[in-house]
Amino acid sequence: MDLSTARGRRLHATAALSFDAIRTELEVPQAFSAGVLADAQDSLSRGPRGEREPLALPFVTIDPPQSMDLDQALHIERTADGYLVHYAIADVAAFVRPGAAMDNEAWARGVTLYSPDTRTPLYPPQLSEDGASLLPDKDRPALVWVFTLDEAGEPTAVEFTRRLVRSVAKLDYAGVQVDFDKSAAHPSIGPLAELGPILVQQARGRGAIELPIPDQEVVLAADGSWRLSFRAQLPVERWNAQISLLTGRCAAQMMLAAGIGLLRTLPVADQHAVAGLRRVAISLGIDWPAEVSPGQILSTVDGSTPREAAFIDEAAGLLRGSGYTAFEGLVPNQTEHAGVGAPYAHVTAPLRRLADRYVNEVCLSIQERREVQDWAAHRLPDLPAAMTAGNRRDNGLERACLDATEAAILSNRLGEVFEGVVVEIDDSGAKSATVVLSDLAVRAKCSGTALELGMTVRVMVAEADVATRTVRLVVAP
């Protein structure tokens, strides 16, 4: 079979791939009811609740280029002794009436769900991608966090208020990275190139764990086929994420001091898990000094070699068990988020996560020294279950779409041999493992003998079934 024929068969397999059946199977909502849409339109017609003063700063947003649900806008200034950060968050609570149709539907969904070919928003698009979104050249109601930071990136003062803001530019990560590389960053975020690395280093000092795992993404190619790719995170994405993490850390401290709120928690890995990862490092030939924390050793690897890729994959086991913890009165026993290295809360994505609307309201009440409004306080205990259900469906949808795409890509390549890297040995022993085929960005189960973590192995495609989303590899003879 010549190359053009092979390419045509692969195109046929992936072009025919549909994600509709997966969404139906996982009961992903396909549309909003007429009542929800009417409630959204009514909220926009009424306009946002509450008077607010405009904040005359040239905010900018940084998001994927196709995004329209813009939750955050940023402005950073360099000061004589540190940094002044203004972080505007979409004020969803200014539009959503508690107990009304839009609110009830958001509770049923929990989060915005993403498929390769579409998104299933938490709120109707006229709100999430228009009226409440921090789009450029639009006056928008926002919740503005103001952080005064010293030279080490530590907060010396935190303010939080409702304001009217205006973004002057909708930026994307790739473009911003190019601008930083050319020393031509937008003036509203120029200091991010200094502050971002400071916050990254600060996180490592707290023992935070960041896994440098490239994202496995399903992308639509120019020829109409679905492809898989591994995409490494850009430096500016890590820096921008640190601003969000800073906000979540300050929100958590504010709520813990007041004795009411909702935390995003992740238990610290037990010593048995860390000891196991150290044994993996030894087997892979990775030098891990006794005094170095897991987060610090992970900051020294990037997955560019098979042994590093396997080590990072194994380290993901340290970040299991995340959840939400609501509290009022007594501070909960578990307050830490091991990935962040500090108490942490979700506050920066209210257009895409249900919980953020409530946590922001709690923090605003604390800042203004008033009682938390009943609509927010009374539902805090219900949020962990709602968010867990939403995240579970989101994770299931992502995994199912990836599995289906992997099967579609390999469905016409049965019997072909590829080179892969063993990144995980199954509990059953060295006869079954997870292998990554880097050239195709496929990750699949492989059976064989004498499989070792981090080894490069030649594998053959034994099974690829799109209907069951199954891929099976075997060690090539």
Domain residue extents for the chain: 3-267+321-406, 413-477
**pLDDT for 213:** 79
Of the listed ranges 92-96, 154-158, 303-307, 473-477, the one predicted with least confidence? 303-307
CATH superfamily, region 413-477: Nucleic acid-binding proteins (2.40.50.140)
Of the listed ranges 265-269, 278-282, 303-307, 452-456, the one predicted with least confidence? 303-307
pTM recorded for the entire structure: 0.91
CB 78, CB 191: distance < 8 Å? yes
- Quick check: 302 pLDDT over 90? no
CB 473, CB 460: distance < 8 Å? yes
**pLDDT for 8:** 42
**pLDDT for 231:** 84
The model's pLDDT over 237-249, given as tens digits with 9 standing for 90+, comes to 999 999 999 999 9
At residue 2 the predicted structure's pLDDT band, cuts being 50, 70 and 90, is very low
| Cα angle 54, 171, 102; round to 5 | 60
State the DSSP H helix or E strand holding residue 405, giving kind and residue range, or none if neither: helix 383-410
Task: Give me the mean pLDDT over the 223-241 stretch.
Answer: 90
- Quick check: 282 pLDDT over 50? yes
Q: How many CB atoms lie within 10 A of CB 59?
A: 24
**pLDDT for 3:** 36
- Quick check: 476 pLDDT over 90? yes
Query: Distance between CA 190 and CA 202 in Å, rounded?
Result: 20
- Quick check: 326 pLDDT over 90? yes
Q: If we measure between CA atoms, which residue out of 375, 346, 351, 353 comes closest to residue 127?
A: 351
**pLDDT for 5:** 39
Task: Give me the mean pLDDT over the 112-141 stretch.
Answer: 96
**pLDDT for 477:** 87
The model's pLDDT over 60-77, given as tens digits with 9 standing for 90+, comes to 999 999 999 999 999 999
**pLDDT for 427:** 65
Instruction: Provide Rg for the chain, Cα atoms.
Output: 24
**pLDDT for 14:** 60
Of the listed ranges 123-127, 172-176, 305-309, the one predicted with least confidence? 305-309
What is the separation of C-alpha 303 from the centre of its chain, rounded to a whole number of angstroms? Answer: 20
C-alpha dihedral, 441 to 443 to 448 to 454, nearest 10°: 80
